[in-house]
Amino acid sequence: MRRAVCPGSFDPVTKGHIDIFERASAMFDEIIISVFHNPGKDNATFSMDERVEMLREATAHIPNVRVTAFSGLLNDFCRKEEAFFIVRGLRAFTDFEYEFQRALLLKKIDEQLETVFIMTNAKYSFVSSSGVRELATFGGKLSDLVPECVEKRVKEHTYRKFEERTETEK
């Protein structure tokens, strides 16, 4: 079985990510989407559990997908799941530099692991989780960037934070 892991922070999952999952699902027998803690992105907005829940809802239409979370090294996770492919999405040149280093490091750790890159869909090339979070803070329109179920969660979260802030300012 050709099994691939799609690792990421997914804080929150966007339409750009979903597009990558859909295309990867046609290339592999099974796709495991796994939420990882990225040490370079501390202070996540959503908890691991919330991110997993949003991913499950947003990918319910893709049959060969499983969603999970893992706190540890990606190569250990891949071994555990018997997955030898890692799928990452590529947007701009800045993504490339980061992904290039990451893929080479993984290869150094485990030679059996292959990183497969899928080029972003042009219509989602500007979409990022950080952009979604920023827009949400200022009440911007999110429907082009995230699935409906995620939009609802992001808005609820932003509203909750706003309430908490005004509560402490009283």
- What are the catalytic residues? 17, 41, 91, 129
Evaluate whether 133 touches 21 at the Cβ level (below 8 Å): no
Question: How far is residue 69's CA from residue 37's CA, in Å, rounded to a whole number?
Answer: 9
Binding status of residue 147 toward ligand ADP by CB under 6 A: no
Question: How far is residue 66's CA from residue 68's CA, in Å, rounded to a whole number?
Answer: 7
Binding status of residue 129 toward ligand ADP by CB under 6 A: yes
Closer residue to ligand ADP, CB minimum distance, 25 or 129: 129
What are the φ and ψ backbone dihedral angles of 95, each rounded to 5 degrees? -60, -40
Binding status of residue 120 toward ligand ADP by CB under 6 A: yes
Please identify which residue in 17, 24, 59, 85 interacts with ligand ADP, judged by CB under 6 A.
17
Question: How far is residue 98's CA from residue 76's CA, in Å, rounded to a whole number?
Answer: 21
Q: Omega of the bond prior to 63 within 30 degrees of 0, cis? A: no
Binding status of residue 112 toward ligand ADP by CB under 6 A: no
- Minimal distance in Å, beta carbon 1 to ligand ADP? 23
Question: How far is residue 155's CA from residue 55's CA, in Å, rounded to a whole number?
Answer: 16
- Minimal distance in Å, beta carbon 54 to ligand ADP? 12
Binding status of residue 41 toward ligand ADP by CB under 6 A: yes
Q: Which parts of this chain interact with ligand ADP (CB under 6 A)?
A: 8-10, 14, 16-17, 20, 38, 41, 88-89, 91, 95, 120, 124, 127-129
